[in-house]
Amino acid sequence: MQHRIRQAMFLAFALCFPLTGCGLNQQTKLLGRWYNSQISIRFVENNMVVYNSRTTGLVRGRYQFTPTTQAVANDTPKKNLTLWLPQTGRILVLDYELKYLGDDRLQLTRLPAEWANSQQPSSSPSRAIVLKRALPEEEGSNGFDKKHPIAEATPHTGS
């Protein structure tokens, strides 16, 4: 009986221990450039982000990522990533659910603005995009390494 209890405790520890570092691993894993044919996003330390798309152009902003465990059976997206991007004298706030699909892929599901406060789905569907991690040799291929004037955003904290 003692042997079975020890085995159960060891198994529980062995399964739980790797999960305790997931938040840090997810934060570190996010750093770098992610892209598809429509957008390119570079996550930098200190919560800085460089975002490039046809609609926004090249902008430097801020991000907040709160790693969460991914529910298997729940289809309702949960906000865990917010981007603050400058747009013509105002700050564009984009809320997403970020899911890792592997080491080199992630899925961003854009949440409508009303979801940010209530966490309740609305009648408008969310939009998901898949981004690929840039290889080290591709890191500078989009001009981010060049000195361009870039609009910058700082999130409004309400104070």
Q: What pLDDT is stored for residue 112 in this prediction? A: 82
Tell me the pLDDT band of 146, cut-offs 50, 70 and 90. very low
pLDDT at residue 117 greater than cutoff 60:
no
pLDDT at residue 52 greater than cutoff 50:
yes
- Mean pLDDT computed over 79-102: 92
Separation of alpha carbons 48 and 133, rounded Å? 17
Residue 67 neighbours by CB under 8 Å, 6+ apart: 22, 23, 26, 27, 80
pLDDT at residue 17 greater than cutoff 50:
no
C-alpha separations of 158 from 56, 106, 118, 155 in Å = 24, 31, 18, 9
- Mean pLDDT computed over 33-59: 94
pLDDT at residue 143 greater than cutoff 50:
no
Answer whether 0.75 is exceeded by the pTM: no
CATH classification code of 32-152: 2.40.128
Tell me the pLDDT band of 153, cut-offs 50, 70 and 90. low
